[in-house]
Amino acid sequence: MFYRQAGIYHTSYAADRALFPIPFERWAVAALLLFALSAPWTLSSLQLTSYVRPWLIWTGAALGLNLILGWAGQFHFGYAAIMGIGAYASVHAARRGVPWEIAVILGGVAAAAIGSVFAFAALRVKGLYLALSTLAMQFIMDWVISHVPAISGGVSATLQAPAMKLLGQAITSEAGKYYVVLGWTLFVTLFMLNLKRSALGRALVAVREKDFAAAVIGVQSFQYKLVAFAASAFIGGVSGAMLIFGLYQAVTPEQFTVNVSIELLAMVIVGGLGSIIGSFFGAAFILLLPGQMNALIAWLASLMGLNIGVEALAHIPNMVYGATIIIVLLIEPMGLGKLYGNVRNYLMLWPFGYVKK
Amino acid sequence: MDVMYFLELAVNGGLAGMMYALVAMGIVLIYKSSSVPNLAQGALVMMGAYVVLMFTGMGVPVWAAIPLTMVAMFLVGVGIERVALRRLAGRPIVMILMMTLGIDIFLRAASLTFWGGSGRNMPLGISDAPLFVGKLLVNRAYAVGAAVTLVLFVVFMLFFRTRRGVVLRAISDDYTASWSVGISVERGVALSRALSSIVATTAGVMWGSVQTVDQSLALLLLKGLTVAVLGGLDSLGGAVLAGLLLGIVENVASGYLDPLLGGGTRDLVVAAVLILTVMVRPHGLYGRRDIERI
């Protein structure tokens, strides 16, 4: 119906390797891009600042985590700490007068340097034990960030972030911040899309499936693990910087605790391991669903004349958040991206589904 | 270097560590039977304490409320296993970990939604009077908790010598093989869930009497997990010994480091022990060393 596809007949290698081989999807992507570019005029400023911008930033971070978890198959329970390092490094650099673009890249580089330390844990152990050691590293980084005055500015201090500047121009309008954030998320998305069809991406997948077997066919598994940790930490660090400059405007250690790591993991798992569009869905689901559900429950309760305490209402979003993870894992362990893929596969040849068999 | 100060830190730390072992034993029991690293154990401990308080609030005396809670927690544990974890068997471990984390978040929030988050006391009747052993000041609640841990450990050791205990050991050894000789693995897993819920309730009650019953009980997860890993994820004796060790190290180190580094070193020490264990000896003190096959 939508796809108007009767089999896939590529006539050149270039067509085979295109990012979006199906014409309908090319048009859909173009339409979405147009919509994204016109969002400051079509969406209200409340929607833009409290829904769309956080969603874009967290999607960028979730894609970075997906690189290490979904592609390279290595656990990372300390991704929030990595984002924190990027955020602090870039804020400090920007406060010292480093140009904003370079400060953000410096944040990414600092995060990549420290994030590579996690890879040395991956050299030694894997699976559950890697998860535990990265979890422990998250706690240690939390402690270091909050207890070293040179980083956080003292225990429970808040560092004000300077305004974003592109080429010396300060960006203070909401629309401007939105465009910067959109640009970063599009960049990460493009990188991940291209990773799928590059040698690096295939090597990472080989390492994920079985690192010994990858080593046997000549993929240096440790080297690729290191690259994966460093690349995903770079994305995480810059996303952390975007989070501070583009959303929070100030940085405190509480923004990067272990709960945030778990939230990011939830985004990746709910979205689907190794699925790019899934990361967009997952971030939206985890960010928006609990709040919306809470509003719905409060509304239903008032409709039926039930009286739910303030304290109960405060904890219901967390309950919904936990339940979301459980339900998605039960229904479709490969996440929302897989669900989308199922629908797409079904519609691809519809109504001529018998052609497939 | 004050020897008495050191000894006091070490003894109280060791006793508290034995109580960490209560949490760890719950993790170990579940890991042994179903190789699920249960990250929801902290939430189960917290829920155990809340359910005991719910029963006492209904007028049930404490000594009856605790066994009732154990039964209730057993139902919760079996429910979790049936509904959530059994379907994920054979899936990559990241999904199993995420599932237990989701359960952890859900149970924590659900407990707080139903019972509220304000701190409450566990009416266990342990007196606050100081307890002196020689010249050492010992925390009475910790001492009781450590004694309970030891009793439970001995009971478990005896249990693992009975016929049913041997069945459990067979399942933890190799569950495909146990299946093929006619052991009901499902029943064995349920049994280990029962044992684990006994431990979780005990941990909730003991820790609830040491501190108050509030959501901080769920944070025992990190310590329980560290103890379980340090002892070896499938060894109960290892858990008790590792609890003792971790308690001593944590209390002594934070006793001396806190004034120097400005507080909060407790979690730092625990995290460092976890990393060192995983890096140096991933199978822990008494865990079984797994050989990976390609």
Measured between beta carbons, which residues in chain A are less than 8 angstroms from residue B274?
132-133, 135-136
Q: Which amino acid is at B105?
A: I
Q: What is the arithmetic mean of pLDDT over A293-320? A: 81
pLDDT class of B1 with cuts at 50, 70, 90 = low
β-bridge mates for residue B131, sequence order: B138
Residue A284 CA to residue A188 CA, distance in Å, equals 17
- The per-residue pLDDT for range B120-177, each reduced to its tens digit, is 887 777 777 777 777 778 888 888 889 999 999 999 999 989 998 899 888 888 888 9
Residue B38 CA to residue B206 CA, distance in Å, equals 20
For B262, the closest of A136, A140, A155 (CB atoms) is: A155
pLDDT for the residue A357: 54
Measured between beta carbons, which residues in chain A are less than 8 angstroms from residue B97?
75, 128, 131
For B105, the closest of A155, A312, A318 (CB atoms) is: A318
Total domains in chain B come to 1
Q: Has residue B228 been placed in a domain? A: no
More confident residue, A211 or B25: B25
- Write out the two tokens for A254: 């509480």
Q: Mutate which of B88, B104, B105 to test chain A, going by most A C-beta atoms within 10 A?
A: B105
User: Residues, chain B, total?
Assistant: 294
Q: What is the arithmetic mean of pLDDT over B90-108? A: 89
Phi, psi dihedral angles at A60 (to 5 degrees): -60, -45
Distances, alpha carbon B28 to alpha carbons B136, B157, B224, B287, B291, in Å: 33, 14, 10, 10, 20
Place of tokens 């978040």: B105
Residue A309 CA to residue A287 CA, distance in Å, equals 23
Chain A residue with Cα closest to B222: A136
Contact between B94 and A124 using a beta-carbon 8 Å cutoff: no
More confident residue, A151 or B16: B16
- Write out the two tokens for A118: 């996690």
pLDDT for the residue A4: 66
Residue B101 CA to residue A328 CA, distance in Å, equals 13
pTM (2 d.p.): 0.90
**Strand residues in B109-202 grouped as ranges (E):** 131-133, 136-138
Which ipTM score applies to this complex? Answer: 0.88
**Count of alpha carbons within 13 angstroms of residue A64, beta-carbon side:** 33
pLDDT for the residue A356: 67
List CB contacts of A169: < 8 A, sequence separation 6 or more.
none
Q: Has residue B107 been placed in a domain? A: yes
Question: Over 80: is that where the pLDDT of A6 sits?
Answer: no
Q: Has residue B269 been placed in a domain? A: no
Contact between A322 and B222 using a beta-carbon 8 Å cutoff: no
A34-356 folds as: ABC transporter involved in vitamin B12 uptake, BtuC (1.10.3470)
Place of tokens 């000594």: B63
Q: Has residue B230 been placed in a domain? A: no
List CB contacts of A102: < 8 A, sequence separation 6 or more.
A93
Range of the domain at B21: 3-218
Residue B43 CA to residue B49 CA, distance in Å, equals 10
Residue B59 CA to residue B55 CA, distance in Å, equals 7
Q: Which is nearest to A270 in space by CA: A260, A256, A285?
A: A285
Alpha helices in chain A (DSSP H): 13-16, 23-42, 45-47, 53-66, 79-95, 100-124, 128-147, 149-152, 174-196, 199-209, 211-216, 221-243, 258-271, 276-304, 310-331, 335-348
pLDDT for the residue A347: 82
- The per-residue pLDDT for range B143-152, each reduced to its tens digit, is 888 999 999 9
Average pLDDT, chain B: 87
- Percent of chain B at pLDDT > 90 equals 37
- Write out the two tokens for A82: 């990595």
Chain A interface with B: residues with Cβ < 8 Å: 69, 75, 121, 124-125, 127-129, 131-133, 135-137, 139-140, 143, 146-147, 155, 210, 212-213, 262, 265-266, 269, 273, 309, 311-312, 315-319, 321-326, 329-330, 333
Residue B37 CA to residue B19 CA, distance in Å, equals 20
**B224, burial (CB in 10 Å: exposed 0-12, middle 13-18, buried 19+):** buried
Question: Over 90: is that where the pLDDT of A14 sits?
Answer: no
Contact between A311 and B116 using a beta-carbon 8 Å cutoff: yes
Chain A residue with Cα closest to B263: A147
Q: Are B76 and B44 in contact (CB under 8 A)?
A: yes
Angle (CA) B159 B160 B165, round 5°: 95
Phi, psi dihedral angles at A210 (to 5 degrees): -165, 115
Question: Over 90: is that where the pLDDT of A1 sits?
Answer: no
| A69 to chain B, closest Cα gap in Å | 9
β-bridge mates for residue A159, sequence order: A251
Residue A114 CA to residue A107 CA, distance in Å, equals 11
More confident residue, A176 or A163: A176
User: What is the residue-wise DSSP string for A211-253?
Assistant: HHHHHHTT--HHHHHHHHHHHHHHHHHHHHHHHIIIIISEE-G
Q: Which is nearest to B120 in space by CA: B61, B46, B70?
A: B46
- Percent of chain A at pLDDT > 90 equals 35
| A216 to chain B, closest Cα gap in Å | 11
Q: Domain locations in chain A?
A: 34-356
pLDDT class of B265 with cuts at 50, 70, 90 = confident
For A143, the closest of B95, B98, B268 (CB atoms) is: B268
**Which H or E run contains B78?**
helix B62-80
Q: Has residue B189 been placed in a domain? A: yes
Q: Residue A328: helix, strand or coil by DSSP?
A: helix
Contact between B279 and A121 using a beta-carbon 8 Å cutoff: yes
